Amino acid sequence: MRARLCLVLAVFSAAAATAAPIDVAPAGTFHHLDASGRQSLALAGGQVALVWEDSHGGAPRCYLGLKAGAETAFREYPLGRGECFDPAVAALDGERFLLAWEDETGINAALAGPAGPGGSINLGAGAHASVAAHPTLGAHIAWNAPAGRWQRVWRASLRVLGTQPRAATPQAADAAPPSDDQGFPALAAGEHGVRLLWEDRRHGHTVIYASASADGQVWSAPMRVSGNPTGRAPGNLGRGTGAMRPAVASFGGGFAAAWLDKRDFLSGYDVYAALSEGAGFAKDGKAQDNFADAIAQWHVAVAGNRRGELVIAWDDDRDGTSDIWLTRLTAAGYSENFTLPETSGPAHQSDPAIALDEAGNLHLAWIERAPGSDSSGPTRLRYTVWPLPKS
């Protein structure tokens, strides 16, 4: 496997070294990078923003870490009230970010600049928030909240007034009454509009749905993105295989969606992806290579930039322990999977969050546990930057 890795890196030619990893927060206290859509890391005008949850204060709390590109440490700002989960972040404008999280008051949103977060607004009960913004298409938030018997995905546009957002009336992602649960929304905004993906159980198993907006105001009817088959197995059993935890990013002139997909149910979840085609998405396919097929993949994230580079990241333990694995979209399709020295090896590296800057640098945050420690062992929250080699 290592020989193959060397070959892959050689193919990408003269790979530049990653920056020395930064420990973002105090070690040891259940760090989580669990934003819906894996939107835990964002870049705006030379500023880096990372949001996470940990329990170093004795209970789960959310934090925002901010640093200028060249700085070697993050400044830490607490978010939310009481127990707090799943903070998400997206670039807004200039050096500002759009934030969302869930705490004891429900779903909240706020802005943050280099000096830290401003005042927040509350959008009511809910979980698993996602945010996206674009200079002309506006700022948007999505989350899931109970609607009678089911969880339903909601979205709202946000007006930015000074240091605080203001939310328009929330709208259901699907105007039709839900017939089963929806959840884990993921938003992205780019030159060609805004995309919202979510998990949907309307077919009796979990599949990925999407809605598209060209102007940030009018949204399309829901469309199915994942091709995991719906239908009973022989013997009238089940209703279909699973797909979960969608992530979406804008890149070049379009969007890329990625998720975990169990259509090959014997080997666990695989990484599937689909690229935008008009207002929808083209037929999906595996983004991982064949060496990943017999291994379960987890925590898929996707990042792109305006010059058209696209990276998908996840964790799997094909080399014996969990490592962060990556693939790049090339002219020939998705590259062979590769990892980086800092995010692989005997330690347990997982839960990647990624962002790509316009110079082609991959910013990567992840959770790490010492070799041999069990899943409740002490964790570190780490961050590094890797200049993408020319493909």
Which is closer to another protein, CB of 82 or CB of 333?
82
CA angle, 262 then 267 then 272, to 5°: 40
**Alpha-carbon distance 134 to 93, whole Å?**
8
Residue showing tokens 């666990």: 268
The helix/strand/coil state of 257 is strand
Instruction: Of 122, 125, 124, 211, give the one whose Cα is nearest residue 172.
Output: 211
Task: Give pairs for 116-122: CB < 8 Å, separation 24+.
Answer: 116/64, 116/66, 116/75, 116/77, 117/64, 117/77, 117/79, 118/162, 118/163, 118/164, 119/163, 119/164, 120/79, 120/80, 120/164, 121/164, 121/165, 121/166, 121/167
State which of residues 30, 122, 253, 370 lies at the interface with another protein (CB under 8 A): 30
Give yes or no for residue 366 binding another protein (CB under 8 A).
no
Helices (H), the chain: 2-11
Q: Are 41 and 50 in contact (CB under 8 A)?
A: yes
Angle, CA 255 vertex, CA 254 and CA 256 arms, to 5°:
135
Q: Closest approach of Cβ 276 to another protein, in Å?
A: 25
Q: Applying CB under 8 A, which of residues 239, 277, 306, 370 lies at the interface with another protein?
A: 239
Residue 230 CB, shortest distance to another protein, in Å, is: 8
Minimum CB–partner distance for residue 49 and another protein (Å): 23
Structure tokens at 99: 């934030």
Residue 227 lies near another protein (rule: CB under 8 A)? no
Minimal distance in Å, beta carbon 305 to another protein? 28
- Please tell me whether residue 267 binds another protein under the rule CB under 8 A: yes
Site string for another protein, 122-141 (x = CB under 8 A): -----xx-------------
Distance CA 131, CA 200 (A): 19
Instruction: Number of residues interacting with another protein: please give it, by CB under 8 A.
Output: 41
What is the spatial distance between Cα 32 and Cα 312, in angstroms, rounded to a whole number? 19
**In the set 27, 166, 298, 387, which binds another protein (CB under 8 A)?**
298
Which of 11, 12, 19, 55: binder of another protein (CB under 8 A)?
55
Residue 389 and residue 65: Cα distance in Å, rounded? 27
- Name the residue nearer to another protein (CB basis): 61 or 192: 61
User: Which residues on adjacent β-strands are paired with residue 261?
Assistant: 243, 270
Which of 201, 202, 286, 369 touches another protein by CB under 8 A?
201
Q: Which is nearer to another protein, 289 or 315 (CB)?
A: 315
Q: Could you tell me which stretch among 42-50, 185-193, 214-222, 295-303 binds another protein (CB under 8 A)?
A: 295-303
Q: Looking up tokens 């999280």, which residue turns up?
A: 101
In angstroms, give the least distance from the CB of 375 to another protein.
Answer: 5
Residue 265 vs 341, nearer CB to another protein: 265
- 147-166: which residues touch another protein (CB under 8 A)? 151
For the bound state, the minimum distance from the C-beta of residue 345 to another protein, rounded and expressed in Å, comes to 20
Measured CA distances, 359 to 90, 226, 253, 308, 342 (Å): 18, 32, 17, 11, 21
Q: Is 206 in the site for another protein (CB under 8 A)?
A: yes
Instruction: Please select the residue that binds another protein; options are 21, 37, 60, 65, rule is CB under 8 A.
Output: 60
Rg (CA), the chain: 20
| Cβ-based nearer residue to another protein, 192 or 245 | 245
Least CB distance to another protein at residue 239 (A): 4
Q: Should residue 268 be labelled a site residue for another protein when binding is judged by CB under 8 A?
A: yes
CA–centroid distance for 290 within its chain: 23
**Is the Cβ of residue 22 or residue 145 nearer to another protein in the bound state?**
145
Pick the closer one to another protein by CB: 36 or 157: 36
Residues engaged in binding another protein (CB under 8 A): 30, 32, 34, 55, 60, 83, 85, 127-128, 144, 151, 183-184, 199, 201, 203-206, 232-233, 235, 237-242, 244-245, 262, 265-269, 296, 298-299, 375-376
